[in-house]
Amino acid sequence: MAESNKNKVIIVGCGPGLKAYISPKALYNIKKADILVGSRRLLKLFPGVDAEKIVLEKNYSVLVNRIADWSVTRQVVVLVSGDPCFFSYTKMIVKKMGRESCLIIPGISSMQLAFAAVGESWDDACFMSLHGRNNEYAQLIKKVREYTKVGILTDHKNTPAVIARHLLKSGIPERQMFVCENLSLPEESIRETDLVSAVHLKTTGASVVIIKKY
């Protein structure tokens, strides 16, 4: 185990999907892992890494305790999609381990890539995640009223079409809507639409939605 990282869990941001977006520092640490923890999709990006591979599914709470135990004697590297400090498992690990026991290596967030894809700055935007959440629409509506731009992480239930329906139902006036799907992957799709048209929009993959005032 490298002396400076002794007993530290390394949490690595793996970007939005394409391996080329992973930083050299992240790759360096991944290669040195004794134990690599991550989703099946992320683990598959590193077939050549000679580490014990642990699949992260819905076993978050059990696994966070194991990560803490393993890290006493072995170098644990946890892979997360996008950036670790943006709506991820990192919060749970840092809460369990303490900040001083974690080394976080940033990654390119799907949100960053979405704003880049549509040529918009994100320094004046507000963000929220509907990924795996229920009933956060009151919060979303408040943000869309208040901010010029709102970036939203979606999931298979909270799709761009469902988001558009909720916003229209709340009486929000028409807005520009960008739907950024499968970012950085071969099936990437970037669509510009409005709330009324988006009500019938079909999406299949992971997507980021940006709502912008006209």
203 binds ligand SAM per the rule CB under 6 A: no
**Part of the chain binding ligand SAM (CB under 6 A), chosen from 30-38, 46-54, 66-74, 147-155:** 147-155
Number of residues that bind ligand SAM (CB under 6 A): 25
- What's the closest the beta carbon of residue 38 comes to ligand SAM, in angstroms? 12
* Torsion of the alpha carbons at 58, 59, 64 and 67, rounded to the nearest 10: -120
Tell me the per-residue interface mask from 5 to 34 with ligand SAM, x by CB under 6 A, - otherwise.
-----------xx-----------------
DSSP reduced 3-state for 105: strand
What is the nearest approach in angstroms of ligand SAM to the Cβ of residue 189? 9
Smallest CA-to-CA distance from 77 within 153, 11, 159, 170 is with: 11
Candidates 87, 115, 127, 137; binder of ligand SAM (CB under 6 A) is 87
Structure tokens at 123: 């320094």
Tokens 């992971």 correspond to 206
Q: In this structure, are residues 127 and 151 in contact, taking their beta carbons and an 8 Å threshold?
A: yes
Q: Does 101 bind ligand SAM (CB under 6 A)?
A: no
Minimum Å gap between C-beta 55 and ligand SAM is 16
Q: Report the site for ligand SAM in 152-171 (rule: CB under 6 A).
A: 153-155
Among 31, 32, 96, 131, binds ligand SAM (CB under 6 A): 131
User: Residue 179: phi, psi to the nearest 5?
Assistant: -115, 115
Report the nearest approach of ligand SAM to the CB of residue 203 (Å).
10
Q: What are the distances in angstroms from CA 203 to CA 23, 116, 140, 196, 200?
A: 29, 20, 20, 16, 10
Closest CA to 18 of 117, 85, 92: 117
Contacts with ligand SAM by CB under 6 A lie at 16-17, 80-83, 86-88, 109-111, 131, 153-155, 180-185, 206-208
